[in-house]
Structure 1
Amino acid sequence: GEETGECGLPAVAGSAIGAVCTAAYAAFIQLSAGAFSQVGYYFDPTHPTKAVADAAATVGAQAPLLWLGAVVVGAVVPLVCCVAARKKGDAASWKLFGGVAVVAALAGAICLRVAFYNMGLSVFMFY
């Protein structure tokens, strides 16, 4: 309807920008695994054959959380919901799809924060 027409395009545009930025960040993080191997490792004297941290392995281990949680759930689902609500155009659709979009975006944001912390914890001892 007319009351939802004003928020339709900004919601779709905002969710599209969010999806592109989240996917770009996820790709950057995945491609940065090699950069961490250039940091000089020091070893725990009680485990001389094991590195204190393996940041590159952390990047690989968090891939499902980053791609499924942050990108698919947190970015693609809200975009699809906003597009679907805009196509339907009525207030009931915006309430339903908008609610799903907000919950998915929140879940994706939490997944992204966990990925941030995982990356930080893997290299904190170097700084």
Structure 2
Amino acid sequence: MNWAAAQRSSDSLVAATFDNETFVVVPMARAAGVNSALQPDPARASFTFLGSIDQFPRDLPVSFAQPPSLTSPAGRGSDAAVSHEWVITADAISWPFWPGSDDFIEHAGGRYAIGARPRNDSGRAVIFASRVRKP
């Protein structure tokens, strides 16, 4: 087995074990430019996927390899700040498209804006998201 096959096998095992929450990607677009309102994107269809959630994850310090200093929240004895409500992870190998920052994710009646989508070399997506009001 080569490296790519082993990684794909590992991604599939993680998905089968942990991805048990249902999400819907709602594609959005701006009609007339960057300052126009978001509206449903007619060029892309919504899709459903299974994923996992880490609610209210903590930020890592700027240099998490270094011990906390007195200027960091950890060094002062308080909790670190939260930069987003959720980290959603999922096996994205079969997704029809990669959600953009204007798209929304819906889960359990809530709508979430995508804050960041760091890419990695695996088939697993990592999406940082925060709750927004439904229109």
Same fold at TM > 0.5: no
What range is the shorter-chain TM-score in? under 0.3
> Whose relative contact order is higher, 1 or 2, with alpha carbons under 8 Å and at least 6 apart?
1
Greater fraction of residues in strand: 2
TM-score by length of 2: 0.24
- State the structure with more CA Rg: 1
TM-score by length of 1: 0.26
